[in-house]
Copies of this chain bind each other. A is one copy, B any other.
């Protein structure tokens, strides 16, 4: 079906007809979120009845059925420390949601400060840096607390550090940045060593500037294993020991919503966070922590498990990339990322066409992430970015979905060409 630009222009009526056919099909497919499907979830189902009813003691002799061990059991800290390349003393184990830990952290910084007794609520204005396209749920949190989210261009090896260095070093209202350093949502960018070092070496105008380091896809390689630098160590070396707060979870290792999560940071920060968490809860679910450490003894067993996930995801990402290449390779009318991990492909149409493409897909029964979702206030100034989340459909469904998507991209493009005449 590969076309050159001239052929494409000639085929408007054919494409219009194809679009109408798809509309008639009555397809109903939701590709709006990065959810695994049932078959992919099955590879983790062993964890549901992993624990025997006698399995309740932690290795330090703690009865995990009871109250206490507010910051988590040691073996869970050690497991996360190995995954993140840090130490158990730098870890607090949370509940089922790392997003919740991030929300709580922002909320507490607002009311009490990231440096004790310096609440962000006392500032006239707070700004937060949002590498874009980025993760909508991150931006929604800082928006909820009234911060001004500032879009920072995302590049193949991380956000634009030239801009970040300039803003952070001059504007004391800038208090933090959202980062997904490995297989960034949605572009799949992996932060380079150089950019991680530059982030760690920032000289913020505000002493309580914080890097929110959401390492959501730390072990989510689709091809070879990639390791990025440990932000906590780099910040320490740079003389900014308390600047980074890292988060990770098992939501996409075992189950979305039934995993365990963690905060990793300097020991100083960890001790401060513990004081707040001790007010908030008597402790997170330690039986679920046991369940996870019983299932995964070390990073090697997690890597083996992630290879099974990759067997599901790699072919899906490849269908997306192949369909896009077949339809648009060399045409220079749109662009897309080629991720080596994570859950998404980030697609860019010609300017001003993303909303319309998403609308046309919806008319064909294909629900995509709403236009603008990857930007502050959900406004994509160029109206070009679309997040493709191929994990949920089956291979056949996905193949059809991408055919529909490509037809809609072409249709919108040609309609615009015609209008311009």
Contacts and interface: CB of A to CB of B under 8 A. Distances in A.
A258 B103 contact: no
Contact of A256 (B44, B66, B107): B66
Interface stretch (A7-15, A186-194, A279-287): A279-287
Contacts of A68: 35, 256-257
Interface residues of A, number: 56
Interface string A112-124: 1000000001000
A20 interface: no
A51 interface: yes
A294 to B, nearest CB: 11
A206 to B, nearest CB: 20
Nearest to A121: B121
A225 interface: no
Interface in A97-154: 97, 99-100, 103-104, 107-108, 110-112, 121, 137, 140-141, 144-145
A145 B111 contact: yes
A65 B281 contact: no
A99 B66 contact: no
Contacts of A55: 48
Given A96-B284, A258-B286, A45 B49 contact: no
Given A95-B96, A95-B285, A56 B48 contact: yes
A36 interface: yes
B51 A49 contact: yes
Interface of A: 33, 35-36, 38, 41, 44-46, 48-49, 51-56, 63-68, 95-97, 99-100, 103-104, 107-108, 110-112, 121, 137, 140-141, 144-145, 251, 255-258, 276, 279-288
16 contacts: A35-B68, A41-B56, A45-B53, A45-B56, A48-B51, A49-B51, A66-B256, A67-B256, A97-B283, A99-B280, A104-B280, A111-B111, A111-B121, A121-B121, A285-B285, A288-B288
